[in-house]
Structure formats: structure tokens, C-alpha cells
Structure 1
Amino acid sequence: MADWPEIDLTLWGKSRGLGGRRYPLVCHLLDAAAVIEALWEGYLPSGVRAVIADGVQVPQEHAKKLLMHWAALHDIGKVMACFQMQDKEGFGELVGYPENEAESKGHAFAAHVWLGQALAETGYKTESGRSPGIRVAQLLGGHHGRFSLLNQREFRAPLECLPALGGGRWEEQRRSIAAVVHQLVGSPMPPAKLPTPVASLVCGLVILADWLVSQDMFLRERIAVGLPKEGNIDSLRHHFDSSRTVAPRLLGDAGLGRFTFKQGGFTEDFPFDPNALQRSIAERLPDLVRQGPGLLLVMAPMGEGKTEAALHAGRLMGEAAQTPGYFFGLPTMATSDQMFHRVEEFRKRRAEGADSMTLVHGMAWLNSAYAPDGHAVDVLTGDPFATQWLRGSKRGLLAHLSVGTIDQALLAVLRGRHNVLRMLGLSGKVLVVDEVHAYDAYMQGLLKRLLNWLGALKVPVVLLSATLPVPVGRRLVEAYLKGTGSRGGSIPEVVYPGWIYASATSSISVPVRARARRLQVDLRNVPMTGSGLVNRTEAVHDLLSSLAAEGGCAAVICNTVAEAQRTYLEIKTWLDRPGTASADAPVVKLLHSRFPARRREEITQEVVGWFGKEAGDRRPRTAILVATQVIEQSLDLDFDIVISDLAPIALLLQRAGRCHRHPTNDSRRPAWASSMRLVVLAPVDGTGGLTIPRAWPFVYPASLLRRTHHALGRLEGRPVAIPEHVQELIDQVYDEDFADQTDPITEEDLERIADEQTKDMYASMAAIPEPHVLRDLSDLSQGEIVDEFSTRLGADSGRVVCCSPTTDGTLLLPPGEVLPESGEGRDGRFTRHQVRRIVQETIPVPGTWLRDLPDDNHAPTAWRDNPHLRDLVLVTFPALGEPGRLGDRTIRLSDDLGLSDLAEG
């Protein structure tokens, strides 16, 4: 420090929201270093600490000091005129700095450019983009979530390439700050290497530390305690020591702490004895996980307790890898909401320590169980799940327990801002992906890239499926093993029912016994109407006549919302005909995606209460649920019979899994429902040939529908033996080699294969590179193509809000609350309550409904400034239940039908 001038404390790092005060830059940098230390010692699981230390090839204590040093340099780029000028009063207090009229540059990019040479002068290697000095400079330059391209000339001559940095006292202060923070954190020696996966985790940690110490509340508290009066080493050491003292409390307030599960076996995890699948995993897995982190692929029939198996296996795998906790990824928001309850029950029984739990998807804050009345209350004042801080944008995965849509995990491998923070969140826990079969080729492509990265980071993974084609399962396992560095090892054959455990050192396939069942599959032809619609009326009435007379519970599953609505009305009309109405008539419910969010949650909870595992005496004597695909996955429902539109065989078997699911209901079943039965309705033309309705190929590939129809026809009335025949049926339909010559290759087959290959290619283009080939960290965030893709390719949809006017023109939300057209909060902003009430009434609709809309459908002008409201579309009805206009469509909203397009009816 003697070689450099004292630190200028008038160089500020934070000023916004501090009541005219400015927070010295060097203090902010030391705060970040202190919080990195607290995160290392009090939050990061041991397994993550080991991955980082092993990656940089130093002991863990040394690794901690390296991270503290790097975090203390993240904002070094703020020592330049164009940044300091952003606070004109503060800039006016600077003395002795040369004027600099160079083009303004961001401070993160300035750090990226300046740090390469500075680190080289302290012993860091900087020969190539993979050298530790260049890697550190680039990752710190990416602490705002976006990385800059490598440019060796910038690193060799930073002041020449970036004049905005400024020379003279600007350069002196940068060097002084770099020298003093290095000394205060213990002067750690440079590492010999910094692998790409580790660099991504380090950047995530720096982002996390920066966010924590940038909170206005924390800065004001530090100002109130007192800031250094002088910029010498002793004064700054005092501030640093004080920051290290308060850092653990800062983490605690954010909900970040050390987490564990109670030890024990399966019977400690659950209040029942394990079945064959669960027992097999409980007995065999403990020895396997001792050999290192790996991937567990569980394939078993519907209703075999895969969720409980995953919770138990994940606990064992997390303990062995020293990464306790879970992220449960599911296909939809609805299935995530249901899984949240199941994981929460497990958490209550088995979790210890800082067990904050988050629900992460776009509508999580509307879930009444997770956020009562839409408010997130600080954990210290009684919130049962997570702190307000953890509920913030992009932070949900940082909780040790988290449930959400798989999209939240896939975003970690999409090129874009802050993906490294998501990767950090995933790295400290076990990833459990449920319903793996439910994702299309694009999402499967992203999942493969994610598994590749998680293998490199030694993150345990559990994949669950009841109906996964063998080639898909093999490719997922291969992707994970490639990430671990495993070379040339053979992957055991996927067994059904059973499980595979694959790690860098060994792989094993374990068959298991499953509950033997016989599924009676009836393929029933139904005619098409003259207008091209499926006529289910006669078939459904015939199939449900015994139910109407003797009782029982049935599910009727349609492929589109419009068909579900029409079928619901036909059943209601049939049951209400003269001579059939009675006090004991079946209860009929409709569930699909096109209800207002509030109403859909109400119906879902009601349905789970009637047909769920805990229904008991609440199960109706006689009831019919008409639904779409929303009930085929993760909703734990039980019916006496399932009637379904023709769908791909994997999904039909999923739907069949809702039939006779809970043995506890067997004593309640009527005589006509003594066996497990799935009736598949296949639309045919006048000659009896399969006819695929116009709307269905937008939902499912026509080739899979046709091949499924052929496979079911071959059964010729024979029951499907579960589990013996399940994989055989799946492979018949999804056979990629078309080895089954009884079904010749068709144009539809070739279209499907080409479409899947194209989607896989798009996934590869949109995803970040594999860790072993990534040389430039800018590939994590750069690339024009990323803006054209999300986690769901071609997901074209929007949301509408329905309202009706009063006589004076005031717009009302159902059932009569005034629509907030302007904000009631500070500066005219919308309050959380206002936003919640609006979003509760939103309804998802296809993007085709929202093209070329007139002014009548435009949302209030004030909504444009709110991220939750800006993209919503308004639909005004004369009165609830009466038709309204959405563009050129005539639509209607009702409490029992949801939103209907009258042209589809």
C-alpha cells in the first residue's frame, strides 16, 4: 500500500435512494468481499465449495479468499469520469482528476477491459481466453448478467483501447483500490486454472453478493453506523471487519442459510412402508451414490409412487454429494402448484436449518397457499415459506427448496442475462424433473444441454417418467455423462419398470416389480359432423349411462378447449332431459386452461378435493369431470373410468393412470367399474377410416395419432398388461428406426422426424455451448438468435382480461369490483393488490386471437408502465354471460364454461 496513494473516499459506488448521501466505492467493494465470505461459510453447500476449490486446484480456504478478492474488484470500472458524473454533486467534490470527454462506457465493460492487465501484473496468467487472469476479468465484467467479447488487445492496452477509463489520478486510484482490497482479503496467490463451469458459478456468486450489499436498507444502516473518515489501510480494515460481522445477518434476513435434512430411511421420510420401486431405490442407491454424483432415471407406471421415490432418492443423492435440497421441475404452472403442496409436506417432516421454500413460475404470486392475499411476508415475521428477498425476480432458485416449471431451470442454459445466477441456484441442490416425456424436441434439446452442464458441476439429477421412449431416455443419460467427463462407458439398457443410475464411474440398470394391473382399452369410433367437428354425443351417453343410473366417477378428456366445452354442455343437456333429473344426478364439472386464473384455481382445488388421494368421504357418489390435458400430469386424481379423445400413446397411458389410481377407493366403486378401463374415441369418416380433425395437429403430430390408432387396433380387445406391455406400446408408436414394418413410413412420419430434428437444432443454437467447448464467456449471453427463442419454441399466446361497463361507463371485473385503470400507489404506481386483482382475472388465449386488434381491446394507457399489465388485452362485455368482441371474434365468458369462442361452438 505504501507504493500507492490513499484511497479517495469521495469516489462513490452507490448514491441512489440514500437521501443525498453517497457510499464510497471502496466500501461497497469490501462489503461484497465480506458477503462472499459469509456465503461461502454459511450458505454454499459443501459440494459446491468442493467443485469450486477443485476446479481452481487450491484448498477451500484459499478458494474462499480468491472469491473474496474477485468480488472486491467487480465495480473497479466505476473509477472513471463517465460513471462518477452520474451524480453531479458527487462529481463536483472530486479533486485532481483530469477531464475526460471520451465516449461514455458502462462500468462493467470498463472492469472487463482494465482487469486483464492489472491481474497480469500481480502474477495471473493471461496468455489466452482460458487463462485465469482473462477469465476473472471477463466474469467480473459480466456481473450485470451480460459478458463482453474477448479482445486480447484490450487486455494488453486498456487505456489505449478504452480512453473513457482515463489516466492520471483515475488510474492511480484504480491501482490503489486493487492493491488495498487484495491485501485486506489476505493476498491470495493466483490459481493455475479457472474452468468454465467454475467461472460461471463464481460470476453467479459475485452477482448474488453485489445484489445483497446494494440494498438501500443495508447501505443506510452502514452509513448510520459510520463510514471511514480516511482512505488508509487501517480505516478500511476497520470497515471490512465491521462488514464481515454484519454479513451473516444480511444473509439471514434474505433467507440464505445452511440447509440439511434429518437422516433416516424411507420410513422416516414417509408414514408408510415402501412399495417395490421405492424399496429397491432405498436399498440399492446408498451404495451407488457413494461413488459420486450421478443421474437417476426412474421409469415406472402411473400411480407407482415415483414422487415419493424421487424425494427419498434425492435426499440420499443430495447428502452424498453434499448438495441437500431440491428443485422440482414440472411441465406446467398447474402441475407445479400441485407438486408444491407435496414437497411442502415432505419439508415439514424432514427439513432442518434454513429451509426457505419457493414456488417459481410466472403466476406463483397468485397461488393463495404460497402467497396469501398476494403478499409475501418476511420469514422473520411469520412467513411459512420464503423471505420477500427470495421472492424477487430471478432469485427463487437460490432457496434450497424450490418447485416450479421446468422453464426456470432451462433458462440457465439459454443465452441471456443472469443465466449464471440460475446455474448457481441449481448447483446447490438436486434437480428433479417430473413428467420427462411431456416435453417436445426443443425442450428436450435444452434439457440435454442443462444435463451436460449439471454433470460438469457434479449436480445430482433425478428424472421421472411413466411413458418415456427408450431412445429419449438414453440421450438424456448420455448428455449428463458427457458433462461428467465420462468417456466410452456403456449406458445400461433402459428397463421398464425400473431405474438406471449413471455416474462418471459406473452405471447400473435395476428392474423392479410394479403393481400388476390390467387396463381394458376400448377403441371406439365416433363420427364427424358435417362442419368437421367430432360427434361424441352417442358414445359418451352410452358409456356413462351406467354411471348416471348406478353412480361412479368418470373423466372425459378432450384434446381442445372448445371440444371440452361442447362436450360438457352436451352431457349437461343429456342429464337434464325430462325423466332423468333427480336429487342424485351426477355432478358435472369442467376444467381447462381458458378460465380466469382465480376461477381455475378454485375449480382445481375443488376437483382435487373430490377425486384426490385424501378425498375420503368427500368423493362424490356420482360425478363427471370434463377436462383437457390439464389433468393428465401430476394431478393425483382417481376415476372409475376414463374416456379420452385419441392422443399419442404416451399421453393416453398417462390419462389411463387416473383410472383406479387409489386402491383405497376400490370399495366405493360401483359394480360396473370393477376393472380399470380406458375408452379412446377415434373420429372416423363414412368408410370407417381415421380422420384427424383440423385442430388436432396443432396439439399433437398427426403421425403419432395415426400410429397410436394402429397400435390400439392391434390389441383387438385384449387388455394391456401393466407394466409388461407399457414400454412395448410406447416403442411401437415412437420407434425412430421404423423397425416395425407393419406400419410403413408415411409422409406424416417423415414430417414429424424432420420437425423434431429442426427443433433439436434450434435448441442447440439458442442454448449456451457445452462447458468443455466454451472458450469465450460471452457465448453465455451473446448471440442475436437468443432473442427469437424462449424455453418453449413457438409458444404463441397472450392473456386477456374480461370486464363489463356500468351505466356511467365504469368497468367492472367479475363479479363486480372496479377495474383499476390507474395506480393508487406512490407516484401513481399500481399497488400490489391492484395488480393481483387484475392478474387474477387474466385468461390465456392463443396468439392468433390477438392479431390486428382494434382500439376497443387495448388496455388502459397506465397499464403500459407495469411489467405485469403491459401486455394484457381488454375484452368488454355488455354484461357477464353476454357476447363480447375480441378483434373479429365473438366470445363469451361464463362461470362454468370459461372463455368460449362462439365460432368454435
Structure 2
Amino acid sequence: MDDPLDVDLALWGKSRGLPTRYPLICHLLDSAAAVEALWDHYLSPGLRTSLAGGLGTDELHARSLLAYWAGLHDICKCMSCFQEQDKIGFSQLADYPEVNATPKGHAFAAHVWLGQLLSALGYKVGRTPSPAIRVAQLLGGHHGTFSPFNHHEFRDPLGSLPALGEGRWEEQRQIIAAVVHELTGRPEPPQEVSDAGGALACGLVILADWLVSQDDFLRKRIDAGLPERGDADCLERHLTRSRSAVPQLLREAGLGRLTFKPGGFSDDFPFQPNGLQRSISESLPGLVDGDPGLLLIMAPMGEGKTEAALHAGRLMGEASGRPGYFIGLPTMATSDQMLRRVDGFRRDRIEGADSLTLLHGMAWLNAAYSPEGEEIGVLTHDPMATRWLRGSKRGLLANLSVGTIDQALMAVLRGRHNVLRMLGLVGKVLVVDEVHAYDSYMQGLLKTLLGWLGALEVPVVLLSATLPVAVGRRLAEAYLAGAGCRDQQVPEVTYPGWIYVSPRAAVSVPVDSRERTLRVETHDVPIAPDGHPGRLPALREILAPLLREGGCAAVICNTVAEAQQTYLMLRDWVRRSETAGRKPPEIRLLHSRFEAQRREQITQEMVGWFGKDAGDGRPPAAILVATQVIEQSLDLDFDVVVSDLAPIALLLQRAGRCQRHPALDGKRPAWAKDLMRLVVLTPAGQEGTLAIPRAWPYVYPRALLRRTHDALAGLPDGVVAIPGAIQGLVDQVYDENFDDETSPCLSDDVARLADEQAKDLYAQMAAIPTPGRVGDLSQLSGDDFVSELSTRLGADSGRVVCCTVASDGQLMLGDKPLPVVEAGGGAAKKWFTKDQVRLVMSNTIPVPGTWLSGLSADNAAPPAWADSPHLSDLVVVRMSGDQMSGLLGDRSLWLSAELGLSEFPATAG
């Protein structure tokens, strides 16, 4: 029998890629030290409060408990099936019995073994949520998923899991556990571990484990000297050295405390607040003091909601001890634009560690975020984010994050490492922009997330210009239910205005807003034989003054194909038209089906032309033909906006790009002065009645298109008073009550509501339970059904990369060979370099999933891409000829810098 505190240092915890095996006990003590450092130097005060509250104790005791638990997470690496993975290391183990049993993962083994150990230390045992069971489960979940609790495994761990091994295997596990307990201060057992407390604790353990598992850190610890013996004194010295080393590790990772410079709104931004901003800056401080809650801002387009949210988020974060933000947006493009605004804000207003991450699938292609040739290490000299924070699943741990809302919603999907995402969210303020832009499935996931954030006292800011009142109420109710205030009434928003709800407050505040008049014109456009609206005659009439006198216009189409066709028709019309001696208008096309780098190039060019800071860069005459990509978060200004019929909320968003900035009013042509104008192209059949094109119901519900058409027809004098008429119009179209003759329920209404109810049900199935309803932590993990779901239900799309074929048969991207040969990484496993992957991904194009059926051998990606997480799902299109044409299956496609990827050449029209 070993000395009670004599650990066998031959038991290794880390081995691969290291000059020598790293002892298991050293890794466990490193993890404990990392939790202590994270608690002291990184976790926000509010997050520490949430963790302590979830453990039913004070912060000092919670710190000690969490360090102890982190020191146990890998304890079942003391198991034959793990140790024998390093044959040489395994051969150096003496007096360990042979174990003939089916191998099991060490994380699952910890889940089975730790319950009895903790019970012996006085942890309560009882029903599934008891502390002994919860802690065993959360530590067994440190690889990102939780296993279901089994009473037989708990009562007899060695009997139920023979792979654990008896004899010296069991003796050493007991010794290691005793050493960790002793060196972390012998913390008393907690009286409770809530479901939220267990989830956050697991997230913290994962974070600590990842930090101290980095090869560079392990090599430095090896170079500094490992313990010579496994007695308590030597191991205590190792822990002391780890405690000294880990704070630097956190700094290198970009994990630190964020603080803001003191001041008011005018300190946050270089201008005086408008009515909305002033109302929030004056009234919100008295509501948020010690009382985290949810702020819903509903105000017209162009009213400075982003600045209001950043200021409000700062006030709410400081009051709740959770400084920092995650700002969630509907698309990658809107996220990229928001990054620039948040970056400017942080440079002026933030002190301390101010890491900023951009979170979406193509973030690392963003030149502002990830410039070519960068080398990012320690968080100094104002990098946006360290290399470590840019790693998979880590971005939400930054103090400031901008990205698609999916990144936050994944915290409540039953998927791997969702608790780490939750940990990142709970330490900051959640800001969700364009709340109206999410379908019922995403709204369902958002309600679950708001319930968790309400339970954990996390401040939330929601923004929208066109949100139906019923949707806003449901979101606020979800937050209050999580906070334990299910019966509290949500006040009505007086549009424009804001509400603030918390366990102690329910306030609705109307605000003054710039009053404008939006003139809405409807033009019937016939459906052509090909099923598309015949827009050109109406567009020639609408845009004729622009050709004569100049000005800037946006033409927004509902589908990419229709935008491309419309662009070609307008391009040819402009070329043929007389412009009274003026230079012909510039004309551009913007949609999602360009190569990633080309789309970003066009987007930035359009911001330079039509943004509020365009100045002399604004063309005297220009037309932008686009799809929905410009209706949200792109700060563009046009003299007139022409749009296909779309649901009223989105039409109003599009109208928000019309004469958006008063500073430009003096530069507008005579035909556009004092006239905020939206022209809606309504597809009409032979009898002049609404005729919805075949493709549109795949984009928008038929019922919303019809109801919007009817609402526009009923506008008094074709005028919308902004802001006064906006909420009424939105609620009229999205009305869910069909109780009287003025609001009849038609078959397409039934179909829409059924679809929304089904999506909400799918969201409930895919999401984790609401707080307080998690009996077994395995309910937070995924299964075969929900693993196929994402945050966007039915997001049926793929990506293609268009190549040419050189004379020697080599595939080319421009003048560079398509990367097909693996490079770097050593002989055992080779990987593509970042530059190679960047080259491919910057040339990818999203396409509908229906385009990916019946692919040919020519569409197959190079075999070497199969193991690359970025490249494995891509499809190749081989292009040839002067017009760059190729086949995707049996579908003919053309690629040009002018049109992007299309089903017809750029010369058509």
C-alpha cells in the first residue's frame, strides 16, 4: 500500500508532442491553479456571483470548490486503457494489475467513479440533482457532453465499469483525489449544485483544462522542472509554481478584466444624443442599479439604436458587474459591418483587457479582423483578439464579441461544449440587433436562451424597428420567467420607445423621434412567361429623373436570379439612354452569390458610395441593384428605394435606407428633395390581381405578402407617418388574432401559423430545458435527432468553389493552383496551412441546397480536402471559356465579377 500522499509520477496525463511525459497529478494541479487565476483575473464580478449562487454558497468557498473540482476532472486517466496509449510510459508502471475489460473514455469513467468519492467526503446523495451526482456528472462532461446518471454505476463503480481497474489503479485514484483535496484547501461540500451552476462549473473546468493543455505551456513547465517525488511537499511546490505561471498564460490568451472609462453618452460618442438616446441615458441608470433586466428598444430605422444599445449595454453591464458585450446579428455581412462600429467604440472607451472577436463561419476571411500575414500573440498593441481566442468555440470568451446570433443560440442547443458558450455569455451583456429578422424556430431558441439569462441575471438588450408587439412581449416574458417572475406583466411599448423589465421593474418609456413622411407608391408589374415579374417598364418610369438630373437609387429584388436579371436590363437601358450630357449613372449589383472576397469588395465600395461618411465619394448618379443583403445593418442612404413586394416589416427596413441621413439632404437632386419615397413593385396577373411568383413563397410566407399588399392598398393617400404609423402597420400584417370580420383567417394564414407553431415546437425539441427543469445534466447534451438541427431550421445550402483547368490539368483559382497537396504538421498528420484554406474559402460561393443534387465526378472536391473541417463540404465547379461557364451536376452556370454566379451569362439581357 502506498503512502497516503505518495502519488505515482509515472502516471502520465499529457504525452503527445512533448519531450517527456507530463505527470497526471501535475496536469490536475495546473487545472486547479488555472481556475483560481480565472476567478481572480478574468471572471467578471457578475459571473462570479452567478457561479457562487449556483453552488448555494459565497464566492470564496465557490472559488475553492471549483479549483478542487478542476483538479479532479482527468482523475480517471489513472486507468489501464488510457495509460497504455503511450506504450513506453505504460511499460514503466509497476505493480498495476492487468485489466481485461472493454476500454472506456476517461471522462465517462470520471462520471461513474467520482460520485462515491464525493459521497465519502460528505456530499449529499439522493435524487439526481444531489451535489454528489451533479459534480460527478459535470466533471464527466468536461469533453463537452454529459452522460445519463445510472444508480447502479453510482453504487458500484468498479463493478459496473471494470475498465477502471482495481488494486493499485484504485489506490492511486484515491491518493490523487486526497492530494488535490488537501492542496486546494479541503473545501467543504456545497449544499446544492443547481442545473445552471453545474453547467457553468463545467464550462469553467473546460476552459481551465484547455488553457493548461497547450503545448507551449506544458513545455515551459517541463523546462522549469517537474516534481522529483510524488509526496505532498513536492506537489505543493509544483502547485505554487503553477499559480505563478498561469496568470501570464491568461494574458497571452487574451483573458482579462474589462473596464470602461467613466462618462455619459457624450463621452461614449462624439455627438449629442437624440431623443431616444437621451431618454435611455437619463432614465436607465435608476432602473439597472443592482437589478439586471431586459431592455427592448423599438424605434424607426436610422434612429441611432446601435449607439443607444452600446451605451445602454455599458450602463447595464457596469451595474450588474458584467462589462462587455456579445452583439448578435442576423447575417455574416451585418456582423462584419458591426465589427467596425464596435471596434471604433472600444478604442475610445475601453480600458484594461479589451479583446474583440468576430464570430461567424467566415470571420477569419474578414480583412479588418484577420489581416494577411498577421502574427497575433500577447494581447498588446491593440490587436482585436489573440490567436487563442480565435480558436474553435472560444470566441464568446472574449470581453467583446460581434457575430451572427447563431453563436449565442448554440449555447442552448443540445450540442457539444454548449456550456462553454454559456460561460462566455453569462459574463457580459447580450445585445440582439434586428430581432424581427429571425423566424419562429430561431425565436423559439432565443426564448430559451433568454430564460437562462434571466435566471442567471444577465442583462439583455433587444433592438428592432419593426417587431410585432406580440413577439416582443413573448421574448420579455421568457426572460422574466427565467428570472422567476412568470406572473409579472410586460408593459406595452409606445412606439417609438423602450421597455425595461426585471424582477423589480416593469417600465415603458415613449420617446421623441424625428417625424418624417414616407410616401409609398405601388406599381403593378406583369408576370412574364418565365414566371418572373417584368420590372423594366416600371423601373424606366421611376428612374427616368435620375438619368436626367442625377441621384442615387436602390432597387431591391427578392431573389438572386431576379436581381441579376434586373441588373442586366437596367445596365443595358442605361447604356442606351440619353442623359442630357450628363455622365451615365454608375450601376452595381450586390447579392450573396458572389465569391466571398468579391462580395466584401463590393460591399465596402457601396459603403464608400452611399454611407454617411461618403462625402465627395458619393456618385452624382448611381443605381444599386441588390437583394435582402442591404436591408439590415448596412448604413446606406439612397434618394429613392424601389423594392419588390415583401412582408411589411422588411419593406419598412428597406425604406429605412431612403434619405437616411439629414446631412446629405443638401446634396439630393430636385426630384428627391423633401420626399422620402418607397416604390413597391407588385406582381400582377392578367386581371390585375396579386400574382405571387413561383420562387417567392420559398423566401417569404404567401400570407404575409398578401396581407402586406392589402395593407399598402389601404394606406391613406399612400403615406406612412414615421414613426407614428409603423407599429400599427406591422401589427396589422402580422396579426395572430382572427376573431372578427375585419381580420378574416384565410387558408394561407392557417398555413403560416401552422408553420410557425411547428418551428416553435422544433425549437423546443432541439433546445435544452429551461432553468430549474434540468434533472439530469445529460439533458443538456445532444442526441441523434437534435445533432442534425442547427440554429437555422432547414438552412438548405452549400458552398461551391469555381476553378479553371490549366493546360496540364491542374485546377486553378485565378493564377494560383487549387490547394490539393497537404502541407505542414509533420509526418503523422498533415494539414493545410491557413493561407491555403484562406485562398479557397475566399473564393467560395453559397448556393441553394437544391443545386447540389445529381453532382458529377467533375464536381468532387480533391480527396485531400476530406479531412479539412473548412474544405470537406465544398463542391468544385470547373469553369472554362471566355464567359467562364461550367456544370454543377447538369445545371449550367456562369461566373463573372459583374454578376457573380448565375444561370445565364453576363452578356444576357
C-alpha spacing 1:291/1:184, structure 2 compared with 1 (3 Å): closer
C-alpha spacing 1:220/1:467, structure 2 compared with 1 (3 Å): same
Given the two structures, how large is their TM-score scaled by the length of structure 2? 0.98
**How far, CA to CA, are the matches of 1:475 and 1:43 in structure 2?**
34
How far residue 882 of structure 1 moved from its aligned partner, in angstroms, is: 3.2
**How far, CA to CA, are the matches of 2:53 and 2:566 in structure 1?**
60
**How far, CA to CA, are the matches of 1:5 and 1:197 in structure 2?**
34
How far residue 788 of structure 1 moved from its aligned partner, in angstroms, is: 2.1
Give the AA of the match of 1:896. Answer: E
Give the AA of the match of 2:526. Answer: P
Give the AA of the match of 1:137. Answer: A
**How far, CA to CA, are the matches of 1:563 and 1:736 in structure 2?**
31
**How far, CA to CA, are the matches of 2:195 and 2:55 in structure 1?**
10
Matched, 1:785 2:785: yes
How far residue 739 of structure 1 moved from its aligned partner, in angstroms, is: 4.7
**How far, CA to CA, are the matches of 1:255 and 1:882 in structure 2?**
45
Contact between 2:455 and 2:771, CA under 8 Å: does it hold in 1?
Answer: yes
Trace 1:618-767 onto structure 2 (pairs within 5 A).
618-674=617-673, 675-739=675-739, 741-767=741-767
Q: Paired residue for 1:873?
A: 875
Matched, 1:366 2:365: yes
Matched, 1:848 2:840: no
Give the AA of the match of 1:695. Answer: A
**How far, CA to CA, are the matches of 1:852 and 1:763 in structure 2?**
31
Contact between 2:112 and 2:136, CA under 8 Å: does it hold in 1?
Answer: yes
- Aligned to 1:211, the other structure's residue is in SS state helix
Matched, 1:70 2:74: no
- Aligned to 2:149, the other structure's residue is in SS state coil
Contact between 2:703 and 2:752, CA under 8 Å: does it hold in 1?
Answer: yes
Give the AA of the match of 1:551. Answer: G
**How far, CA to CA, are the matches of 1:584 and 1:823 in structure 2?**
51
Deviation string for 1:834-883 (max 9, x for gaps)?
11111110000001001120101111111112111111111111135232
Trace 1:275-294 onto structure 2 (pairs within 5 A).
275-294=274-293
Q: Paired residue for 2:90?
A: 91
Contact between 2:251 and 2:379, CA under 8 Å: does it hold in 1?
Answer: no
**How far, CA to CA, are the matches of 1:566 and 1:843 in structure 2?**
19
C-alpha spacing 1:804/1:3, structure 2 compared with 1 (3 Å): closer
- Aligned to 2:866, the other structure's residue is in SS state helix
C-alpha spacing 1:5/1:49, structure 2 compared with 1 (3 Å): closer
**How far, CA to CA, are the matches of 1:795 and 1:429 in structure 2?**
29
- Aligned to 2:31, the other structure's residue is in SS state helix
Contact between 1:374 and 1:832, CA under 8 Å: does it hold in 2?
Answer: no
How far residue 375 of structure 1 moved from its aligned partner, in angstroms, is: 4.0
**How far, CA to CA, are the matches of 1:803 and 1:879 in structure 2?**
12
Deviation string for 1:82-129 (max 9, x for gaps)?
111111111111111111011100000110011000000011001121
Q: Paired residue for 1:794?
A: 794
Contact between 1:877 and 1:884, CA under 8 Å: does it hold in 2?
Answer: yes
Percent identity (aligned):
65
Q: Paired residue for 1:836?
A: 838
Contact between 1:5 and 1:172, CA under 8 Å: does it hold in 2?
Answer: no
**How far, CA to CA, are the matches of 1:697 and 1:74 in structure 2?**
51
Contact between 2:290 and 2:320, CA under 8 Å: does it hold in 1?
Answer: no
**How far, CA to CA, are the matches of 1:257 and 1:409 in structure 2?**
21
Give the AA of the match of 1:673. Answer: A
Contact between 2:550 and 2:669, CA under 8 Å: does it hold in 1?
Answer: yes
- Aligned to 1:412, the other structure's residue is in SS state coil
How far residue 474 of structure 1 moved from its aligned partner, in angstroms, is: 0.4
**How far, CA to CA, are the matches of 2:47 and 2:18 in structure 1?**
35
**How far, CA to CA, are the matches of 2:615 and 2:458 in structure 1?**
40
**How far, CA to CA, are the matches of 1:535 and 1:784 in structure 2?**
47
Trace 1:401-440 onto structure 2 (pairs within 5 A).
401-440=400-439
How far residue 376 of structure 1 moved from its aligned partner, in angstroms, is: 5.2
- Aligned to 1:742, the other structure's residue is in SS state coil
**How far, CA to CA, are the matches of 2:378 and 2:345 in structure 1?**
19
How far residue 505 of structure 1 moved from its aligned partner, in angstroms, is: 1.6
Give the AA of the match of 1:631. Answer: I
C-alpha spacing 1:381/1:317, structure 2 compared with 1 (3 Å): closer
Count of aligned pairs between the two proteins: 903
**How far, CA to CA, are the matches of 2:432 and 2:187 in structure 1?**
40
- Aligned to 1:301, the other structure's residue is in SS state coil
Deviation string for 1:217-275 (max 9, x for gaps)?
11111011111111110000000000001110010110101111111110110010000
Trace 1:22-171 onto structure 2 (pairs within 5 A).
22-171=21-170
**How far, CA to CA, are the matches of 1:898 and 1:407 in structure 2?**
26
Contact between 1:527 and 1:686, CA under 8 Å: does it hold in 2?
Answer: yes
Q: Paired residue for 2:889?
A: 887
Which 5+ residue runs of structure 2 have no aligned equivalent? none
- Aligned to 1:500, the other structure's residue is in SS state strand
Deviation string for 1:119-165 (max 9, x for gaps)?
00011001121111111000000000010001122111111111111
Matched, 1:586 2:588: no
Q: Where in structure 1 do 4 or more consecutive aligned residues deviate above 6 Å?
A: none
Give the AA of the match of 1:758. Answer: A
Which 5+ residue runs of structure 1 have no aligned equivalent? none
Moved more, 506-515 or 430-439: 506-515
**How far, CA to CA, are the matches of 2:817 and 2:743 in structure 1?**
59
How far residue 884 of structure 1 moved from its aligned partner, in angstroms, is: 1.2
Q: Paired residue for 1:511?
A: 510
Trace 1:108-257 onto structure 2 (pairs within 5 A).
108-257=107-256
- Aligned to 1:643, the other structure's residue is in SS state strand
Matched, 1:10 2:10: yes
Moved more, 741-750 or 594-603: 741-750
**How far, CA to CA, are the matches of 1:668 and 1:378 in structure 2?**
46
Give the AA of the match of 1:859. Answer: A
Contact between 1:299 and 1:468, CA under 8 Å: does it hold in 2?
Answer: yes
- Aligned to 2:876, the other structure's residue is in SS state strand
How far residue 380 of structure 1 moved from its aligned partner, in angstroms, is: 4.6
C-alpha spacing 1:740/1:645, structure 2 compared with 1 (3 Å): farther
How far residue 276 of structure 1 moved from its aligned partner, in angstroms, is: 0.4
**How far, CA to CA, are the matches of 1:826 and 1:22 in structure 2?**
21
Contact between 1:486 and 1:505, CA under 8 Å: does it hold in 2?
Answer: no
Give the AA of the match of 1:831. Answer: T
Contact between 2:451 and 2:479, CA under 8 Å: does it hold in 1?
Answer: yes
Taking only aligned residues, the RMSD between alpha carbons, in angstroms, comes to: 1.4
Deviation string for 1:55-106 (max 9, x for gaps)?
3232211110000000000001111111111111111111111110111000
Moved more, 874-883 or 417-426: 874-883
Contact between 1:413 and 1:450, CA under 8 Å: does it hold in 2?
Answer: yes
**How far, CA to CA, are the matches of 2:797 and 2:444 in structure 1?**
22
- Aligned to 2:410, the other structure's residue is in SS state helix
C-alpha spacing 1:708/1:336, structure 2 compared with 1 (3 Å): same
Give the AA of the match of 1:860. Answer: P
Contact between 1:594 and 1:844, CA under 8 Å: does it hold in 2?
Answer: yes
**How far, CA to CA, are the matches of 1:485 and 1:380 in structure 2?**
39
- Aligned to 2:533, the other structure's residue is in SS state coil
**How far, CA to CA, are the matches of 1:54 and 1:833 in structure 2?**
46
- Aligned to 1:885, the other structure's residue is in SS state strand
- Aligned to 1:865, the other structure's residue is in SS state coil
How far residue 902 of structure 1 moved from its aligned partner, in angstroms, is: 2.8
- Aligned to 2:751, the other structure's residue is in SS state helix
**How far, CA to CA, are the matches of 1:434 and 1:893 in structure 2?**
33
**How far, CA to CA, are the matches of 1:354 and 1:579 in structure 2?**
58
Deviation string for 1:677-718 (max 9, x for gaps)?
000000001111000000000000000000000000001533
Moved more, 890-899 or 781-790: 781-790
Contact between 1:5 and 1:173, CA under 8 Å: does it hold in 2?
Answer: no
